[in-house]
Amino acid sequence: MVSGMPIATIAAPYSIAGCAFVPPAGNGPCVTAQWIVGAVQVMSEGQPVAIMTGTATCVPTGTPLIPVQAQMRVIAT
């Protein structure tokens, strides 16, 4: 926990809410996303922390996930 809020790690896929993006191939909208790259030096319970500058891919579209909100108490790289 940071400032009383849970920390998101890259360990498991995350649900996506409200995705209106449907690519031309028609394989959307995004349902889940899996983080591929997270923090390098900041861990929570042995897992890298998800960070705004990290990389995640949406399923089933394969498009990059664009995070829109984050807890800004800690800065990680």
Q: Does 66 map to a domain?
A: no
- Asked whether 47 and 11 are in contact (CB, 8 A), the reply is yes
Distances (CA, A) of 7 to 17, 39, 48, 69: 19, 12, 10, 13
Q: Does 44 map to a domain?
A: yes
Q: Does 6 map to a domain?
A: no
pTM, rounded to two decimals: 0.71
Range of the domain at 45: 14-59
What average pLDDT does this structure show over 54-74? Answer: 83
In this predicted model, what pLDDT tens digit does every residue of 17-63 receive, in sequence order? 888 777 777 777 888 999 999 988 888 889 998 888 899 999 888 88
Q: Does 67 map to a domain?
A: no
Tokens describing residue 50: 């998800």
Number of independent structural domains in the chain: 1
Q: Does 55 map to a domain?
A: yes
Q: Does 5 map to a domain?
A: no
